Structure 1
């Protein structure tokens, strides 16, 4: 009875180390993806995306703190079985601890900068959307929807990568191949979701909302399998981080569905000219008074 248990513990430690490497890789990808989104948010002057990036950075902080305990347990098991030197943990611990500390400092600085940018971007929206509170609310809803699609992609991809590398690495069954196919399909769905809302295509948005409900059911099913007695062992090494990604993704999907419905409700209310600017059209310097007199909206926007 001892040997099988020892072998299982050793295998669990190996898989846990693999999961830790996947965690580090996802963190690196997360910060690179954040860098791209920061550039995009500044270019488009999307206030909501800037705030979302601050929240995402705090999420990566929690995600990085979880891996410290995982690696410590894995190294402890492997060192007891003489599969790895105990010195490895002593050499790795300072670097693993300093990562969350640096991310925490960066998150605080990002929050301060986001607060300053909020005032600047709010003034830009006022100049180009005018003082119409209803139109500003519609535009704010559009910004929230676009930002949510970008964050949905990252957390869905993070969950999928962990499932493919850690959980399904030893068995290539139908679920494995379906998960691979789901990655490009998800990218297409999110791109179509952004295009449909810009064109105010109601039928397309209804399809997107139905697909989001399907994604909601998928992640609920995965959470059930992660904790069901019959299937939880295969998820055990990656369960803490996969649970984190699954819960965050579920919250984001629910919010995305709600905001999608509000966006559909705002169709044909005058927002479309503001979010579909023509880059080849010369910028016209118009004032709010002249726009109201002529009954026209500015042909050029500084933010999307």
Structure 2
């Protein structure tokens, strides 16, 4: 029996459908919040810039998650599916933080209520109370989606597991090397999102166009994007010189994130970050940790160059029919004889899960 096409099984469709439905609901809630606030305040004022940034971040996050999910299903990449679950948790944290930061932007007179305090109060009859229900819906939807996605990722693991088990044949060392390669590629994708998220917040919310910091942020964009693309190419094609340069630039990128963290809390600059500091801090710390992890895994992948893995990275591996009792031993009998990786089923010749 042939390997199912992308979205060819119920678990794949349900996983993708959950992400799409979540994205629609969350973006509707964020858009309603944005519209209500835009009707009453000038969003170009520094205090209120957190709202357009809030909308932009969630648009970026939901589009990124949909693309990552489709990519993971297309490549049958279980590691990337697990990464999406971690990303979903980060999205939950971000949606909770946005409640705090929106309140910091809108509320200048805590406890005040009524139409006289509509713009600055936090009590009944104020703008804050008007948008609060829509802000609360987002983390609830994201949290529920996380549990649903976790259930279907478990099914997808069984669905993809046997094919992934045979990507590089029966050599345990080769399997370990290929797993590190998969992790590296997955980390690079999430590095892209975190860097883009931090940069977008800085450019939209904080920085003045005539400041030196604005110029530094703009200059960092192409450097980091070239770094991520170059590193991905180097680790896939085992180009040692390009991998060396990428790892060195990665250290410089980590220094950049440390510099930004310090700027958020320095006395001469902390005022401009007041309404977005929580989200910026979380994004920057996550980006820093991801970049450091990418550097460490990159070193590990570098040591695996020229050890016979290049063909598997570029073209995948051939498969053999398998015995169902062995599959039951490995996967706890969870296949139930319903997947395309059953006993005696001839898999199609080649599959790449990069």
TM-score, shorter chain, exceeding 0.5? yes
Correspondence for 1:133: 172
Correspondence for 1:198: 236
Correspondence for 1:229: 267
Map 1:135-154; keep pairs closer than 5 Å. Answer: 135-154=174-193
Query: Is the 1:16–1:70 Cα contact (8 Å) retained in structure 2?
Result: no
- Shift of residue 275 of structure 1? 1.1
Correspondence for 1:210: 248
Does residue 76 of structure 1 match 2:107? yes
Correspondence for 1:250: 288
- Shift of residue 189 of structure 1? 1.6
Map 1:7-18; keep pairs closer than 5 Å. Answer: 14-18=45-49
| Stretch moving more, 180-189 or 96-105 | 180-189
Runs of 5+ consecutive residues of structure 1 not aligned to the other structure: 1-9, 289-297
Separation (CA, whole Å) in 2 of partners of 1:13 and 1:196: 42
Separation (CA, whole Å) in 2 of partners of 1:242 and 1:12: 19
- Shift of residue 13 of structure 1? 11
Correspondence for 2:94: 63
Map 1:154-303; keep pairs closer than 5 Å. Answer: 154-168=193-207, 170-277=208-315, 300-303=350-353
Q: Secondary structure at the match of 1:77?
A: coil
Query: Is the 1:138–1:266 Cα contact (8 Å) retained in structure 2?
Result: yes
Separation (CA, whole Å) in 2 of partners of 1:287 and 1:123: 10
Query: Is the 1:16–1:71 Cα contact (8 Å) retained in structure 2?
Result: no
Correspondence for 2:66: 35
Separation (CA, whole Å) in 2 of partners of 1:209 and 1:119: 35
Correspondence for 1:108: 147
Separation (CA, whole Å) in 1 of partners of 2:210 and 2:149: 42
Q: Deviations over 1:150-180 (max 9, x none)?
A: 0000011110111111111x34223212312
Q: Secondary structure at the match of 2:283?
A: helix
Q: Which one has the bigger helix percentage?
A: 1
- Shift of residue 192 of structure 1? 1.1
Separation (CA, whole Å) in 2 of partners of 1:285 and 1:132: 14
Correspondence for 1:294: none
Separation (CA, whole Å) in 2 of partners of 1:246 and 1:40: 25
| Stretch moving more, 25-34 or 185-194 | 185-194
Q: Deviations over 1:17-72 (max 9, x none)?
A: 31133123201210111000001111111211110111111101111111112222
Runs of 5+ consecutive residues of structure 2 not aligned to the other structure: 1-40, 323-347
Root mean square deviation, CA, Å: 2.7
Separation (CA, whole Å) in 2 of partners of 1:185 and 1:287: 46
Separation (CA, whole Å) in 2 of partners of 1:73 and 1:13: 16
Question: Number of residues paired by the alignment?
Answer: 281
| Stretch moving more, 179-188 or 233-242 | 179-188
- Measured at CA, do residues 59 and 231 of structure 1 come closer, stay the same or move farther in structure 2, by a change above 3 Å? same
Q: Deviations over 1:212-269 (max 9, x none)?
A: 1000001111111111223222222221110010010011011000100010001111
Separation (CA, whole Å) in 1 of partners of 2:201 and 2:352: 39
TM-score (structure 2 length as normaliser):
0.73
Correspondence for 1:93: 132
